[in-house]
Structure formats: C-alpha cells, structure tokens
Amino acid sequence: MRTMKILAAAAAMLTAVSCGENRSQKVLVLFYSQTSNTRAVAEEIAGKLDADVEEIVALNPYDGDFQATIERCLKERESGELPDIQPISADLSAYDVIFLGYPVWFGTYAPPVITLLKQIDLSGKKVVPFCTFGSGGLDSSVRDLRAAQPGAEVLDGYGVRAARMAAAPKEIDNFLKAEGFIEGEYVKPGPFPEMHPASEEEAAILYAAIADYPMMQGAEATAVASRPIPEGTEYLFTAMPRPRENDPKMPPAMEMKVYVTVEEGQAPVFTQVVR
C-alpha cells in the first residue's frame, strides 16, 4: 500500500512551463544581510530578473559573532528596542514587486527589517519574501510579514538553510519560474500522501539528516510521509524535540515538522524545520 502511495505521488509530480507573466513588472530586491548568505540569494534573484537592488543597513551593525548577536538581540527584545537603519534610497512607489530578503533570527526576520517595516507601507505591492536560516523560519516570518503589511500581497516565498547555500541557485531558478517571474520549465512536486508511523528505517533517515545539528539532536521521529522529487525523495517527518532543561526563558518543547531530502547516492539532508 505504501508503494502504491509513492507511485501515485510520482504520477502527480508535474513539469510545467512558466509563461513569465510578471516580466513586465518593475522589481526591487531589498535585503538585509549580516553575513554573505542573504546577500548571495539577493544577488542571484536580482541577476535573473535584471532587478534593482538595495541593501538595508543597520547604523549600529550586528558585526559580532553568533553568540554576541544572540545576546544583543535578547537585550533588544526584552527592552523593546529596535536598531536604527540607514534610510533607503529607492522610491518604493515606482515598483510593482518587492523581493524582501533577510536572515531568520528568533523565528522571524532580523531586527533591521522590523525597523524598515515600521517605516514603510507596501499596500498594493506584491511582496516576495526570501530568507536564509539555520533550521527554519520561512513560514513564521511570512506570517509576521503579512501581519505587519496587511495591505500587501505577500507570497509564500523562498528560504534556504545556510548549510545548503550551494543548492540555492537551482532552487531559486525553479521558484522564479513557478511564480511566473521568468520563463521555462519547472518542477511542481505532487502533494505528500497521508502520514504513517515512522519505521526504524525511516526514522534513521531523519536522525542521519540532523546528526550534525546540535539543537535537534535527540529529536524523536513519530510519523512520516514521502514523495518523489527529480533528484530523489523528499520526506516530511513529524518529530518531537528532546526535552528542554527547566529554563523559564525557553519556550516549551513542541511538535515540529522536518523536511528531509535524499538525493541519489547522497546522504540525507534536512532542508527546513516548521514549528
């Protein structure tokens, strides 16, 4: 029965052709990047769309290491303080589509983007979020963006783990074709079938994928579904994280969804976590 479900999912996977219906729209790629990751995604998108580009610049840069950035963000969150940013030079009224890029910190876009969104109104614009992250945060940051800019049409967007930056160019190309920004064939996977309890063999795929990510080690796979993709197989796991230590600052452990890709001849890699 499980084999039949996988075959059905394979039949549902389509190669479609984008008509590039958005090519006549004027596009701005607006991004904040602490390291080089979000910048690299921004430049890839801008290059494919021949779009204008502008960087969001914090006047007091987050230029410390990972731990220093975390500590500064915690202090800012507790105090309600937001960083000042350099005024953007682009005339937003001249653009139909805004690609908005950011790293995900604490489950949402980085603080300089929060500052920007309090200063501008994107009503009537099509907004395309893109982000980089350690484990996940595309879904939660898009929810926050829709709440912050209710008058804008906010797409579901694109996100990539920092550990998977090499995969970004191909994924961005597919994403832009799927959304009609450029012409060409793109792959649209079929839906995941119904989840079933994860077997030991299936659970081992999740554990291999998260083995090098300390914050997820000890998670327990409870259910799984899989679907074919051009490069191999994509798995969607339901998992429970390891129990948290008794720390009042930490949120309680919650069930999470973990996406894992297994390409032919390659080790399992998790692509994002949705909490």
How many Å apart are CA 125 and CA 67, to the nearest integer?
36
Q: What is the pLDDT along the chain (275 residues), one digit of tens a residue?
A: 444 444 444 445 567 776 666 667 899 999 999 989 999 999 999 999 999 999 999 999 998 788 899 899 999 989 999 999 999 999 999 999 999 999 999 999 999 999 999 999 999 999 999 999 999 999 999 999 999 999 999 999 999 999 999 999 999 999 999 999 999 999 888 999 999 999 999 999 999 999 998 888 889 999 999 999 988 999 999 999 876 555 555 555 678 999 999 999 999 999 999 98
Class of domain 21-181: alpha beta
pLDDT on residue 270: 96
User: Which H or E element spans position 143?
Assistant: helix 138-148
Q: Are 30 and 90 in contact (CB under 8 A)?
A: yes
Q: What are the domain boundaries of the chain?
A: 2-12+192-274, 21-181
Instruction: Give the integer Cα–Cα distance in Å for 190 and 206.
Output: 21
- The CA distances from residue 235 to 7, 80, 164, in Å, are 15, 39, 17
